[in-house]
């Protein structure tokens, strides 16, 4: 696959309903997932698990990009092939998570800023030389008593702007991820407000740093009720409010919006995406960049056992196919039982 510029890369990733497999869990996070199935989180086990995912038949045609953790970008499969080459062979592009996690903000209790700008240019140059075509940086916004504050939002969105410009200067597409967390008892209106403020600040900072929007992808949360809220908004309300917020804030020339699942169940994440695409009326591709919502069933089916590999791959393939249909507005729940 030959690309002339980052705009072509960004367009390719979300072409024809394709989305992104988020396989960039840090080793501690991967450890927690493995704990849930009783598997030790060794480098070899992490490699075997991700190799299994990348070889799944449902990758081809449904997945346009895979976000990797540093360890995975460098790893080889059992037969000696680089894992990033397995991804390319499936018609998808390898990408890399480049932020360095969260740091508390002084005088802002309960709020964090994402760090990792120090040394970023050098890291990006190495990742580009290893074949990474796109990058990801996650900001985290909490909803609670008096938060998010403008200080938190603007600090995170400034970092996203600086990161995005640096990624583009190194010939890679930046995925900008301003995640408003579902954790809490907040209403869908509270989520709308926090998401609206975050997106407004994000695109102001992307403009400030002269980021090429046509060579950028947005990975936002959906506008939902808080997980602990007693009043859970329905699928149609989530779809409508999410679209209202995006139309209000996102430039039309952005090529794609690839949602995070944010702790939603795999079926619900698919249903919300499908509902938005059925409403339509927007210029960007609306797709997915799911981690748990693509992997949960596959991880459970695998259980760390070689004899379960094909069953696990079928689970991932099924979810990838369902989410592609949702990205085209062609999904319905009956297809889950086929």
Catalytic residue ranges: 177, 219
Place of tokens 């040394």: 119
Residue 57 near residue 319 (C-beta atoms within 8 A): no
β-strand pairing of 63-68 with 93-97:
parallel
| H-run or E-run covering 318 | helix 309-327
Q: Encode 118-155: b = buried (16+ Cβ within 10 Å), e = exposed.
A: eebeebbeebbeeebbbbbbbbbbbbbeebbbeebbbb
Q: Residue 124: CA atoms inside 13 Å, Cβ hemisphere, count? A: 25
Whether a cis peptide bond, with omega within 30° of 0, leads into 148 is: yes
Distance CA 47, CA 4 (A): 32
């Amino acid at each position: 696959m030959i690309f002339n510029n980052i705009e072509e890369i960004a367009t390719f990733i979300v072409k024809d309903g394709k989305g992104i497999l988020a396989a960039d869990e840090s080793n501690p996070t991967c450890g927690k997932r493995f704990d849930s199935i009783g598997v030790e989180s060794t480098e070899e086990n992490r490699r075997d698990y991700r190799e299994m995912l990348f070889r799944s038949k449902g990758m081809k045609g449904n997945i346009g990009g895979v976000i990797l953790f540093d360890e995975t970008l460098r790893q080889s499969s059992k037969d000696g092939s680089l894992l990033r080459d397995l991804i390319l062979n499936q018609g998808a592009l390898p990408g890399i998570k480049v932020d360095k996690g969260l740091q508390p903000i002084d005088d802002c209790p309960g709020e964090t800023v994402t760090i990792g700008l120090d040394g970023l240019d050098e890291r990006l140059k190495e990742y580009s030389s290893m074949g990474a075509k796109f990058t990801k940086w996650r900001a985290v916004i909490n909803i609670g008593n008096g938060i998010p504050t403008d200080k938190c939002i603007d600090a995170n969105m400034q970092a996203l702007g600086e990161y995005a410009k640096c990624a583009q200067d190194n010939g890679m597409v930046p995925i900008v991820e301003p995640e408003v967390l579902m954790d809490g008892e907040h209403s869908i209106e509270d989520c709308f407000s926090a998401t609206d403020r975050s997106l407004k600040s994000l695109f102001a900072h992307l403009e400030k740093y002269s980021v090429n929007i046509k060579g950028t992808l947005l990975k936002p949360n959906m506008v939902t009720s808080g997980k602990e809220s007693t009043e859970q908004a329905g699928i149609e309300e989530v779809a409508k409010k999410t679209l209202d917020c995006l139309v209000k804030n996102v430039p039309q020339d952005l090529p794609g919006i690839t949602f995070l699942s944010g702790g939603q169940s795999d079926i619900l994440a698919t249903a919300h995406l499908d509902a938005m695409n059925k409403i339509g009326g927007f210029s960007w591709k609306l797709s997915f960049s799911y981690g748990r919502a693509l992997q949960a069933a596959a991880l459970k089916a695998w259980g760390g056992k070689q004899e379960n590999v094909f069953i696990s791959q079928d689970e991932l393939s099924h979810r990838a196919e369902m989410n592609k249909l949702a990205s085209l507005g062609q999904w319905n729940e009956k297809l889950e039982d086929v």
